[in-house]
Amino acid sequence: MASAIGKERTVAVAYSGGLDSSLIARLAKESAEVKCYTCAMAGSFDADHALGFAAEDGLDLTMIVVGRESLAGLVARTGMLLNSDDPVRIAYTIPVICVLERCAETTVLVGSGADELFGGYAKYSTATDPTAIMTSDLSKMLVEDNVLRMVAKALGKRLESPYVSEITLAFSASLPMNLKISGNDRKVLLRKAAASLGLHSHDRPKKAAQYSSGLMKEMKRQAASSHASLSDWVRQQTWCESDGSTLRGQSP
């Protein structure tokens, strides 16, 4: 964690109230002042619960509420930054983009990689060879992480993913699988660590950011209102019809 924070006196954490971001925020507090940020649609799980989760663990949280009228612009801007029109990829990246754009802090910490390294996804529990799938997923995640680091740099920020630091990667590789997955229990070691630190998130179920933030639900609703498939609607937002290269959008 110290290498991710560097000499910063204050850092931002992209926070959902879940296990991964709660652990990062708690450990970062040992080296710097921590400001947490949650980006979500009004009425979503994150919007309704993140402030309470943060208060339970003594964290300072700023809520970034995305209005329905500004979502199309966010989809457009995020798609352009990622050079992608993949709805899922855009939906789970929007919260990070919002934090990068809105936070005052230079360094932003995110929980990327925890699921791939410590067995967070349900599919790992039933896989014949979970290690192979986790390794493949990690490779894809690292590509995404590099893209987000470049996006952060373009926005004048530094994005750090402590779970994929060299020391954590090596540590995870040395662990037996039963400290990652045990029956239906996933991220076993991380949950034990959170419990030992007194974090209320130690037994919270995993909720994917694109769903807990309400972003995917609202994207689907707006696509249906436009009588378009979700993929077509995303492409419509990302590119102007005139020349296919002009970004449309506004801040949340």
Residue 252: pLDDT band with limits 50, 70, 90: low
SS3 147: helix
Question: In this structure, how many other beta carbons lie within 10 angstroms of the beta carbon of residue 200?
Answer: 15
Listed residue (145, 168, 165, 200) closest to 26, CA to CA: 200
Domain 2-237 listed as CATH 2.40.70.10? no
Handedness of CA 17, 22, 25, 26 (dihedral sign): positive
Percentage of residues in the chain having pLDDT higher than 90: 73
Q: Which backbone phi and psi does 35 adopt, to 5 degrees?
A: -115, 120
Digit-coded pLDDT (tens) for 2-56 = 677 877 789 999 998 899 999 999 999 998 999 999 999 999 999 999 999 999 9
Q: Where are the alpha helices (DSSP H) in 205-251?
A: 209-212, 215-225, 230-238
Contacts 24+ apart (CB under 8 A), 67-71: 67/42, 67/252, 68/41, 68/218, 68/222, 70/250, 70/251, 70/252, 71/41, 71/215, 71/218, 71/219, 71/222
Q: What residue spans define the domains of the chain?
A: 2-237
CA distances from 4 to 9, 71, 130, 182 (A): 12, 31, 28, 30
CA distances from 52 to 145, 198, 218, 219 (A): 29, 16, 23, 26
- Whole-angstrom Cα distance, residue 239 to residue 119? 37
- Whole-angstrom Cα distance, residue 154 to residue 13? 19
Straight-line distance from the first to the last Cα atom of the chain, in angstroms, rounded to the nearest whole number: 30
CA distances from 183 to 105, 119, 122, 186, 216 (A): 40, 11, 11, 8, 30
Q: Chain centroid to CA 115: how far?
A: 11
Q: What's the mean pLDDT when you consider all of the chain?
A: 89
Listed residue (203, 56, 164) closest to 36, CA to CA: 56
Listed residue (14, 66, 47) closest to 249, CA to CA: 66
State residue 137's pLDDT score.
Answer: 95
State if pTM tops 0.75.
yes
Residue 139: pLDDT band with limits 50, 70, 90: very high
Residue 141: pLDDT band with limits 50, 70, 90: very high
State residue 243's pLDDT score.
Answer: 42
